Amino acid sequence: MSVVILDFGSQFTRLIARRFRELGAYSVILPGSASLERIQQESPQGIVLSGGPSSVYDETAPRPAPGVMELDIPILGVCYGMQYLAHEAGGDVKRAGKREYGKADLTRYGGQLFEGISGEFVAWMSHSDSVTQLPQGYEVIAETADTPVAAIENPQTRRYGLQFHPEVVHTPKGGQILGNFLTICGVARDWTAEHIIDDLIADVQKQVQSGRVLLAISGGVDSSTLGLLLARAVGERLTAVFIDHGLLRLGEREQVEAALIPLGVHLVTVDARAEFMGALEGVSDPEQKRKIIGREFIRAFEREAAIQAKEHGPFDFLAQGTLYPDVIESAGGLSADKSGAANIKSHHNVGGLPEDLNFKLVEPFRTLFKDEVRQIAKLLGLPEHIRMRHPFPGPGLAIRCLGAISEEKMDILRRVDDIFISGLREFGLYDGCSQALAILTPIRSVGVMGDERTYSYTAALRAVTTDDYMTAEWARLPWEFLATMSNRIVNGVHEINRVVYDITGKPPATIEWE
């Protein structure tokens, strides 16, 4: 049983699914054009029609498949979805006299969706069209100063519409509305981390049977958590391979081994530093770096897989930490036959595993969001410093060292990065940032240390806050903290004599520098 979200192109569709899951209800995203048969495969107790950039009165406007609107289950339309509900039932939707974008106060509200909600209600609007005439059976249940029809409902047919977005953080009480919709649908709130783990282990055991599983470990939360889950599911029939390519953070190899081996993961570490550094020598173009690292990872991974297969027997399955957003992006939701036959994602630590490894895929996390994986990781015992670690790029520190890299530059950057990240943890600022990093620039500048003139590297520090990584704000770290970090870096890393802080958002910049 689930809530099915039909995606008509809104940038917030994923957030709707996440909010439902945070409320304890399983939800899935399907293309807006998904067939009735495909939707019914999910045994939906409710359907959400998402927002989108189209206008319902255009001939090419997206619409649900025939039969969907006749289902005898509650349907909630959000933004474009509400306009479609009204239009489809015989109401009018027209270009609004005034486009409404941003925060708006509801001047009145009521009805089943607002049950138990009181006081000021701030909503996030983003629309150019508005419902100008209600269809028969509907009534207005909310309005703003600029939008007389901000929410509608038809209690008899259990059809509901919101012109605003309840899923975004800018609508603080939006979660209560979504919770009320779940109550209307009668959806069970049993989507918990404990429940997920039991189901995932059972699914893996059913798929793998007595086969052997190969997994590439990156050291990040996804692959590390997957290693712990697979160890519980198949035990010693799992071999996890961790490639040390020389582009890791300070002490990362030891941290990964200490986190996973005691918890029962059969982890094999491959020292490929010499091969990677040799292949990267003199290469300064960022894309070339990525391609070389991807190529070398595949070579190292294949070599070790062959060694392990010769020693312990051939592998039947390749495990990947594919998450639900990857599935949505690559295949527009789960594949039509629910077989998991979506495109193989480019592994976040390798730049693309080859498709001819002749393994069957095991992707237990393909229905999960990142925050759900973190919850599972906690229950499985993954140490907090890995469970809550910021995203780390697949090519490692290679793309945080601008220009050509070398072992000397990697050593410099590792020490700078360690001082910065350790400082964020020490001052209680790490969890308030979504991602933080240090960059070694090729810029050298004159400085004075003691009574001596220096001509050394400039290091840049960057920290951002974001909900979705599609956009990001630079983190407003305290000046005192930044001054302390600058002092520690310059004094602790003698190759650095200047530290700068990046105060650029995304857009126009990206989070990483390369």
218 and 349 Cβ atoms separated by less than 8 Å: yes
- d(C-alpha 443, C-alpha 458), whole Å: 6
227 and 236 Cβ atoms separated by less than 8 Å: no
- What are the beta bridge partners of residue 122? 105
CA dihedral 146, 149, 150, 154 (to 10 degrees): 170
- What are the beta bridge partners of residue 437? 462
Residue entry with tokens 């599911």: 233
- d(C-alpha 406, C-alpha 283), whole Å: 10
DSSP E strand stretches across 17-72: 27-31, 44-49
Angle between helices 479-492 and 407-426 (to 10 degrees): 140
Which ranges constitute the DSSP H helices of 261-393? 273-280, 286-312, 324-331, 370-380, 384-387
36 and 65 Cβ atoms separated by less than 8 Å: yes
- What are the beta bridge partners of residue 453? 448
Provide the annotated active-site residues: 79, 165, 167
272 and 296 Cβ atoms separated by less than 8 Å: yes
Angle between helices 286-312 and 273-280 (to 10 degrees): 150
- d(C-alpha 398, C-alpha 221), whole Å: 20
Concatenating the DSSP letter of every residue in 468-486 gives SSSSBEE----HHHHHHHH
Q: Do the strands 139-144 and 151-154 form a parallel or antiparallel pair, or are they unpaired?
A: antiparallel
Whose CA is closest to 474, among 486, 459, 462, 460?
462
Concatenating the DSSP letter of every residue in 483-505 gives HHHHHHHHHH-TTEEEEEE----
Task: Please state the length of the chain.
Answer: 514
308 and 213 Cβ atoms separated by less than 8 Å: no
- d(C-alpha 458, C-alpha 60), whole Å: 54
34 and 333 Cβ atoms separated by less than 8 Å: yes
Has this prediction a pTM greater than 0.85? no
Structure tokens at 47: 């359907």
- d(C-alpha 388, C-alpha 430), whole Å: 10
Find the distance separating the first CA and the last CA of the chain, reported in whole Å: 43
Q: Do the strands 92-109 and 139-144 form a parallel or antiparallel pair, or are they unpaired?
A: antiparallel
- What are the beta bridge partners of residue 463? 436
Q: What is the pLDDT of residue 327?
A: 76
Q: What is the pLDDT of residue 332?
A: 45
Report DSSP state, residue 506.
B
Which ranges constitute the DSSP H helices of 66-173? 80-88
Report DSSP state, residue 8.
S
pLDDT tens track of the chain, all 514 residues? 789 999 999 888 988 998 999 999 999 999 999 999 999 999 999 999 999 989 999 889 999 999 999 999 999 999 999 999 999 999 999 886 666 678 899 999 999 999 999 999 999 988 778 899 999 999 999 999 888 999 999 999 999 999 999 998 889 999 999 999 999 999 999 888 898 999 999 999 999 999 999 999 998 899 999 999 999 999 999 999 999 999 999 999 999 999 999 999 999 999 999 999 999 999 999 999 999 999 999 999 999 999 999 999 999 999 998 888 777 665 444 333 333 322 323 333 334 455 556 788 999 999 888 889 999 999 999 999 999 999 898 899 999 999 999 999 999 999 999 999 999 999 999 999 999 999 999 999 999 877 678 889 999 999 999 877 778 999 999 999 999 999 999 999 999 999 999 999 998 999 999 9
